[in-house]
Amino acid sequence: MNYKITGTGSCIPEITKKNSEFINNDFFDIDGNQIQSSNIDIVKKLESITGINERKYVSDKTNSSDLASVAAKNAIVDSKIDQETLDYIIVAHNAGDVSCNSSQVDVLPSVASRVKTKLKIKNPKCVAYDIICGCPGWVEGMIQARSFIKSGMAKKCLVIGSETLSRVSDKNDRDSMIYADGSGAAILEMDNSNSSGILSYSSATYTFEGENEFIYYGVSNNPELNKNSNKKYIKMQGRKVYEFALTNVPAAMKECFDESNCKIENLKKIFIHQANKKMDEAIIKRFFRLYKLSTPLDILPMNIEEFGNSSVATIPTLFDLVRKTNYKGHSLKKGDIIMFASVGAGMNINAITYKI
């Protein structure tokens, strides 16, 4: 028995915000001091490090559950299942349905319950719940879905990663240029053929040395805004996140891949969380260095350049694009060995080895 992805779907927001649109922002550092560098230099530096040229934002009337519902429907159609036969709907996110002009987290009711409502699923035995695991949330949801199926508690699970980070970004923080919106989904089912599916997985949470404070919710960098408001926004200690990821993620990926009993030479693609192009490329380079190999060509699909960092949505949206559209020349075929890997707030790390 194995655990196979039978359908995928995504929902990419319609609004494109280019780097040039940040030129008139007032940027402050974490201590509330206005940054003296020109905005042109700030934007160019961000682009050179992260690789982001533009990002996708939702319209004012669209919420995360709306994106999730579209991605879910697309995955259901792709899998050709009856949605009433779903046993679980698992939605990974970090802020829920944050409404326009608000940064207040909204997770009551759960985003998963809202998605179930929007899909008009009648079956009460279809259990809907959210998980908050930072950027690795969708991968963690897939690991949980696999466990449900293995235990006999489920046969079909819908796992969604959905985010509207534009609603919880501080416009006075340079990091606001990183964040984006989007949603991706996958159907995981039991597969008795044993020819494809999840081969291995690994998951970990680091907190002992204060890693849980690397990504957090905090007040605006602009001290004037904080005088009359207690609004909080997503914040990140970028250098610490970078160093943590390069130290810990390659080893976690190797642990996961080694458990699959596959040959490293047969690994075709790595779908890593689209957090920062420079960081992702460095992680992959260190991963292959653990096998005393150089990084293979075309191993790393990337969509951060045009979609930005949509947290839990980055991997499933990219996977859906590659599966269906030969995205940027990347494609998959039956029998390919791939990996999903992510790192984010918590600090959490996880990975899955998967055979197409």
Number of domains in the chain: 2
Same domain, 211 and 187: no
SS3 string, the chain, reads CEEEEEEEEEECCCEEEEHHHHCCCCCECCCCCECCCCHHHHHHHHHHHHCCCEEEECCCCCCHHHHHHHHHHHHHHHHCCCHHHCCEEEEECCCECCCCCCCCCECCCCHHHHHHHHHCCCCCCCEEEEECCCCCHHHHHHHHHHHHHHHCCCCEEEEEEEEEHHHHCCCCCHHHHCECEEEEEEEEEEECCCCCEEEEEEEEECCCCCHHHCEEEECCCCHHHHCCCCCCEEEECHHHHHHHHHHHHHHHHHHHHHHCCCCHHHEEEEEECCCCHHHHHHHHHHHHHCCCCCCCCCCCCCCHHHHCECHHHHHHHHHHHHHHHCHHHCCCCCCCEEEEEEEECCCEEEEEEEEC
- Which tens digits make up the pLDDT trace of 49-94? 999 999 999 999 999 999 999 999 999 999 999 999 999 999 999 9
Q: Are 21 and 55 contained in the same domain?
A: yes
The predicted structure's pLDDT at residue 345: 94
End-of-domain residue from the set 175, 194, 213: 194
User: Do 214 and 106 belong to one domain?
Assistant: no
Mean pLDDT along residues 294-306: 94
pTM, entire model:
0.93
- 220 and 273 both lie in a single domain: yes
Same domain? For 325 and 295 the reply is yes
Q: Give yes or no: residues 141 and 123 share one domain.
A: yes
Q: Mean of the pLDDT values across residues 20-36?
A: 91
Question: Do residues 180 and 223 both lie within one domain?
Answer: no
Domain ranges, residue 142: 2-194
Task: Place 288 in a pLDDT band, splitting at 50, 70 and 90.
Answer: very high
For residue 104, what pLDDT is reported? 77
Same-domain status, 304 and 181: no
Domain boundary among 126, 159, 194: 194
Domain final residue pick, 146, 178, 194: 194
CATH of the domain at 178: 3.40.47.10
Shared domain check, 131 and 58: yes
Please tell me whether residues 174 and 208 are part of one structural domain. no
